[in-house]
Amino acid sequence: MTTTPLLWLLALVAGALIPVQAAANTALSKSLGENVPFAAMTLFAIAGGITALALALTSTPIPRLAELASAPWWSYLGGVIVALYVFSITFLAPRIGVGAAISFVVTGQILAALTIDHFGLFRSLTFHLTPPRAIGAILMMVGVFLALRR
């Protein structure tokens, strides 16, 4: 087996975990009296602990302050974005369902990814929007509509 199918499998598994996360976040929030911010804080504390453990178990050096300061300001937006995502999915899933929430999330991801790829934003590789890629995005939007039909 070549590396590419293994990477595809990793991406598929990571994607499959997103609705599991949404359902787990919902259960935690409900257990905490619908306290979405506290549920998110709890999740981030667990994530921070697991990340600290990963750092401790590897020989990866901790970056110097100068290295952290040299990163572009927008490269730290990931922390803000993941917090907004956790808040949003924890709020939305019990109200519109995990399937509908994830359908909108994935569609948003595809539209943003195509835009980032087309313009090479955030120092990413450039992959122009082709008709097949545009059709794929349209099919995702049709998929959201179908996922909302009950």
Domain ranges in the chain? 13-93, 97-150
- Using one digit for the tens of pLDDT, what is the confidence trace for 5-38? 898 888 889 888 899 899 999 999 999 999 999 9
pLDDT at 140: 84
Return the structure tokens found at 101. Answer: 């929430």
User: Quick one: CA dihedral 124, 2, 140, 21, positive or negative?
Assistant: negative
**DSSP tag of 41:** H
CA distance 96 to 106: 15
Give the closest residue to 114 by CA, choosing from 132, 95, 98, 127: 127
Q: Give the phi and the psi of residue 46 in degrees, each rounded to 5.
A: -65, -45
pLDDT at 87: 92
Q: Which amino acid is at 9?
A: L
CA distances (Å), origin 77, targets 10, 60, 74, 88, 148: 24, 23, 5, 16, 30
Tell me the average pLDDT across 60-65.
Answer: 90
